[in-house]
Amino acid sequence: MAVYFLDSSALVKRYITETPIRFVSADNELNAAIIAEGLTIENPNNPLS
């Protein structure tokens, strides 16, 4: 009898890399660092129009 294992870690790793992460911060220095790392940021002091 064969035993099959579902490697869910591969699915989780794929989901994490494909799902964008958005940081929310009102700190301008922190925002600059986040942008420098190439990540997405949302500043509540600059609402979308």
Q: pLDDT (tens digit, 0 to 9) for every residue of the chain, 49 residues total?
A: 555 566 677 777 777 777 778 899 999 999 999 999 888 899 999 876 4
**pTM, to two decimals:** 0.55
Please check whether residue 1 is in contact with residue 12, taking contact to mean a CB–CB distance below 8 angstroms: no
Q: CA 12, CA 17: separation in Å to the nearest integer?
A: 9
Q: CA 14, CA 39: separation in Å to the nearest integer?
A: 18
User: In this structure, what token pair is assigned to residue 35?
Assistant: 């942008």
Q: CA 49, CA 45: separation in Å to the nearest integer?
A: 12
Q: Which of 21, 39, 8 is nearest to 31 (CA)?
A: 39
Helical (H) or strand (E) element with 17: helix 8-18
